[in-house]
C-alpha cells in the first residue's frame, strides 16, 4: 500500500490530509465456497466516498451495503458470495470511470477447509528471517524502502530473506523440524530498526527485502514437500507509524487515543492481569489494552467494527493464499478481548482443524489459561484460541537448572509449574519452549553449560505439549554477555557470506556444537514418530537425589525420562516408578542406542538426560 502513496499535499489544521495515490483495494481477492461468504472490501482513493459504486451483475454475488466514514478517501463494500457463485471476476463501476476496478473470486484448493494445523506431534522452528540466511543478495536494499541493509549494525537489516529459508529446507527436514514459524515478513517500511517485522506498514504485502507474496507462497509449497508446515506470525494489536493509516485514518477512531502518542499518558501499562482481575478499574483496563507500546507502533482500536472485520479477513486471506498450517499471534492479550473472541472464532469456524497460539507473556498459568479454548472463566469470557505459550515452564526450567537442589528449589520448580496444568482445558495444546526472539538464548541463560542446555532441551522436547525451538539452539548460539536483541537474534552460521562456521554443512563447528546438533536432531526426529510424545499421558515424580523423572505413556509406547543434575554418575533405584514400568521390560536408550532390561535400578550418567523407550505394542 505504501508504494501507492505518492506525496502528501497541503494539510489544513482543521481538515483531513489530502493524499494523492492510485486506487487501493483490500483484500485483493476472495474465494468461492468459503464459510465466511460475506466480506467487506476496503477501497482507498482520494475522495472515493463522493462517487457512486455499483457491482456489475454477477450470479450468486450481492452488494449489500456501501459504507462511507468521516474520511472521504475510503469506502467499504459489503458483499455476500453465495453457494451459487462460481470462480470469476467481479466488476465494480464508479461514477468516475477511472475508478472502476475488478475483484477476482478464486476457486479454493481441495480440502482447504479441513487443513490440519500444527499439533503436539510437531516441533516449530522459530526463525528471524533477516538473521537466518541471505538467499538473494539483490534484495538486501530496495530503493523504495526507507531502510537499507546494514549488516555491521546490531539493530540493522542483515539481508536474510525468504529465499534463504527456502534454501535451508533440506537442512531443516534432516534436523527433524516439522513446522516453521517466521517472525513477520510483511512490509515494515520504517526508517530504522525494521528487521524484526513487528511494525507492519502493509498487512497484505510481503516486504520486498524479504521477497514477495508469491515467494512466500512458494516457501509454503516447498516446505510441505519436505513435510514442513508454515506458521505465520500475525500482529493484531499495533502497526508501523509509516503506514498510510497514520496520516489518513479510515475512521477517526481507527487508532487508540485519537491516534496520538503522549509519553507517560497513553503508553501501555503492560498490566495484563487487569483483564482477569475482578476488581480492576476501567481506567487500568484501558491503559493496558489501548496504550501504545512506543510512538512508532500506534495501537489499533479493534472495537471499531470495520477494523475488526479487516483484521479477521486479513488472517483468513493469508491462510487461504499461503496454505498456512498455523498462526502465532503477537502480544495476544493487548488487543480488545471481545474482538479476540470474534477473531479466533471466525478462523476456527473456517478451518476446524487449524491451530493458533497466542503470546501471553506471563509466568502465571491462571492468567495464561484464561485465553485457551474450553476454559470456563468466572467472568463468562469465551475464547476460541486453541493454544497458548507456556512461559511458566520456560522460566521454571531455567531456574531448576541454575539452582541448587532443596525442598523448594531446583527440579521442584518444574514440578510446581506442571502441577498447574489443572487450570488448562487442553494441556496437550500448550506450546513449550526454552527461549525465543525476545529473551536471552537458553545456552546463555544456563551459563554456556552444554550439559545443562542438553537437559533443558531434552525436557522441553519430551514433556507434554507442542515444542518450539529457536533457530541456532542446535549449534549453541549465544548472546553472552549482551542482552541486546540484535545479539539475541544473531546471524545463523552459514547463512551469510564470510562466516567461518557453517551449521548447514557442519564445516568449522566446534566439537560441542556438533554434539548439541546431534542431540537435537535425535530428539526432533524421534518426536516425529513417537506416539507417547504426541498423545501420551504425562506422569511425573517428585524429585529425588537431584533427579527429576517422568514418563509419557500411550497404548503403543512408554518413554521414561531421567534428569540427573548430580556431578557424578548415580545408580538410581526406580521401584517408585513401577506404576509406569512393567517388570523385566526391555528399553532402548535414545542417545546410546543400547538395549537394556529394566530392573529395580538404572544407571544415570552425571549431569545428563536419559531417555528410555519401551514399545509396549510389540
Distance CA 190, CA 463 (A): 40
For strand 74-81 and strand 38-44, is the pairing parallel, antiparallel, or unpaired?
antiparallel
In whole angstroms, give the CA distance from residue 187 to residue 458: 36
Measure the CA–CA gap between 148 and 143, rounded to whole angstroms: 8
Would you give the DSSP letter of residue 602? E
Cell numbers linked to 84: 451459487
Give the whole-angstrom CA distance, residue 116 versus residue 101.
35
User: Which is the catalytic residue, given 122, 140, 147, 330?
Assistant: 330
The yes-or-no answer on residue 330 being catalytic is yes
Angstrom distance (rounded) from CA 236 to CA 333:
10
* Active site annotation includes 225: no
> Angle at the Cα of 422 (from 269 to 391), degrees rounded to 5?
40
Where residue 448 falls (left for φ over 0; alpha for ψ -120 to 50; beta otherwise) is left
Check 136, 359, 474, 491 and give the catalytic one: 359
How far apart, in Å, are the Cα atoms of 122 and each of 113, 143, 324, 425, 531?
Answer: 20, 39, 15, 20, 12
- Output DSSP code: residue 428: G
Contact 454, 611 (CB under 8 A): no
Strands, E assignment, 367-428: 387-389
As given in the structure block, the three cell numbers for residue 194 are 525494521
* DSSP H helical ranges for 530-596: 531-535
> In 3-state terms, what secondary structure has residue 497?
coil
Q: Residue 304 has what DSSP assignment? A: S
* Nearest of 445, 434, 521 to residue 480 by alpha carbon: 445
Q: Say if CB 388 and CB 375 are below 8 A apart.
A: no
Residue 165: count other Cβ atoms within 10 Å of its Cβ. 29
Residue 179 C-alpha cell reads as: 513446522
Residue pointed to by grid coordinates 562456521: 501
DSSP code per residue over 219-272:
HHHHHHHTT-EEEEEEE-SB--TTSHHHHS-SSTTSBGGGG---TTTSB----G
Active site residues: 330, 359
Amino acid at each position: 500500500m505504501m508504494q501507492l502513496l505518492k506525496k502528501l499535499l497541503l494539510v489544513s489544521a482543521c481538515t483531513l490530509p489530502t493524499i494523492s495515490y492510485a486506487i487501493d483495494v483490500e483484500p485483493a481477492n476472495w474465494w468461492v465456497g468459503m464459510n465466511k461468504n460475506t466480506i467487506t472490501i476496503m477501497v482507498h482513493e482520494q475522495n472515493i466516498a463522493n462517487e457512486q459504486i455499483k457491482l456489475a451483475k454477477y450470479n450468486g454475488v450481492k452488494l449489500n451495503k456501501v459504507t462511507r466514514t468521516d474520511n472521504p478517501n475510503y469506502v467499504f463494500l459489503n458483499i455476500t458470495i453465495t453457494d451459487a457463485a462460481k470462480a470469476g471476476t467481479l466488476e465494480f463501476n464508479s461514477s468516475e470511470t477511472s475508478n472502476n476496478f475488478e475483484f477476482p473470486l478464486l476457486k479454493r484448493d481441495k480440502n482447504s477447509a479441513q487443513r490440519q494445523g500444527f499439533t503436539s506431534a510437531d516441533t516449530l522452528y522459530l526463525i528471524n528471517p533477516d538473521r537466518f540466511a541471505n538467499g538473494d543478495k539483490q534484495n538486501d536494499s530496495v530503493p523504495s524502502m526507507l531502510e537499507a541493509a546494514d549488516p555491521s549494525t546490531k539493530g540493522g537489516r542483515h539481508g536474510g530473506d525468504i529465499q534463504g529459508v527456502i534454501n535451508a529446507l533440506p537442512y531443516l527436514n534432516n534436523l527433524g523440524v516439522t513446522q516453521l514459524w517466521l517472525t513477520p515478513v510483511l512490509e515494515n517500511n520504517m526508517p530504522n530498526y525494521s528487521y524484526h517485522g513487528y511494525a507492519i506498514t502493509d498487512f497484505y504485502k510481503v516486504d520486498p527485502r524479504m521477497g514477495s507474496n508469491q515467494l512466500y507462497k512458494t516457501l509454503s509449497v516447498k516446505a510441505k514437500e519436505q513435510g514442513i508446515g508454515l506458521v505465520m506470525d500475525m500482529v493484531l494489536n499495533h502497526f508501523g507509524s509509516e503506514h498510510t493509516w497514520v496520516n489518513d485514518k479510515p475512521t477517526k477512531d481507527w487508532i487508540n487515543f485519537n491516534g496520538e502518542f503522549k509519553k507517560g499518558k497513553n503508553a501501555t501499562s503492560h498490566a495484563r492481569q487487569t483483564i482477569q482481575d475482578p476488581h480492576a478499574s476501567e481506567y487500568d483496563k484501558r491503559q493496558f489494552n489501548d496504550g501504545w507500546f512506543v510512538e512508532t507502533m500506534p495501537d489499533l482500536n479493534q472495537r471499531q467494527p470495520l477494523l475488526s472485520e479487516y483484521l479477521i479477513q486479513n488472517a483468513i486471506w493469508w491462510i487461504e493464499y499461503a496454505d498456512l498450517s498455523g498462526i502465532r499471534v503477537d502480544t495476544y492479550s493487548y488487543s480488545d478481548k471481545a474482538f479476540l473472541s470474534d477473531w479466533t472464532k471466525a478462523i476456527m469456524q473456517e478451518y476446524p482443524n487449524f491451530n493458533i497460539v497466542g503470546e501471553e507473556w506471563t509466568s502465571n498459568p491462571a492468567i495464561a489459561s484464561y485465553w485457551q479454548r474450553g476454559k470456563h472463566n468466572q467472568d463468562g469470557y469465551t475464547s476460541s484460541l486453541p493454544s497458548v505459550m507456556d512461559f511458566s515452564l520456560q522460566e521454571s526450567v531455567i531456574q531448576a537448572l541454575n539452582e541448587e537442589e532443596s525442598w523448594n528449589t531446583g527440579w521442584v520448580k518444574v514440578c510446581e509449574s506442571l502441577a498447574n496444568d489443572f487450570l488448562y482445558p487442553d494441556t496437550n495444546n500448550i506450546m513449550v519452549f526454552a527461549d525465543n526472539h525476545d529473551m536471552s538464548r537458553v545456552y546463555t541463560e544456563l551459563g554456556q553449560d552444554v550439559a545443562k542446555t542438553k537437559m533443558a532441551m531434552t525436557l522441553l522436547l519430551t514433556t507434554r505439549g507442542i515444542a518450539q525451538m529457536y533457530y541456532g539452539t542446535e549449534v549453541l548460539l549465544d548472546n553472552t554477555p549482551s542482552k541486546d536483541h540484535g545479539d539475541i537474534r544473531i546471524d545463523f552460521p552459514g547463512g551469510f557470506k564470510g562466516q567461518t562456521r557453517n551449521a548447514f554443512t557442519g564445516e568449522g563447528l566446534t566439537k560441542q556444537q556438533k554434539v548439541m546438533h546431534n542431540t537435537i536432531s535425535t530428539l526432533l526426529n524421534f518426536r516425529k514418530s513417537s506416539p507417547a510424545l504426541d498423545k501420551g499421558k504425562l506422569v511425573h515424580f517428585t524429585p529425588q537425589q537431584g533427579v527429576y523423572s517422568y514418563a509419557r505413556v500411550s497404548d503403543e509406547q512408554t518413554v521414561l525420562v531421567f534428569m540427573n543434575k548430580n556431578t557424578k554418575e548415580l545408580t538410581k533405584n526406580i521401584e517408585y516408578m513401577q506404576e509406569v514400568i512393567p517388570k523385566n521390560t526391555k528399553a532402548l536408550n535414545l542417545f546410546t542406542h543400547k538395549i537394556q532390561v529394566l530392573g529395580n535400578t538404572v544407571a544415570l550418567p552425571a549431569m545428563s538426560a536419559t531417555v528410555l523407550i519401551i514399545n509396549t505394542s510389540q
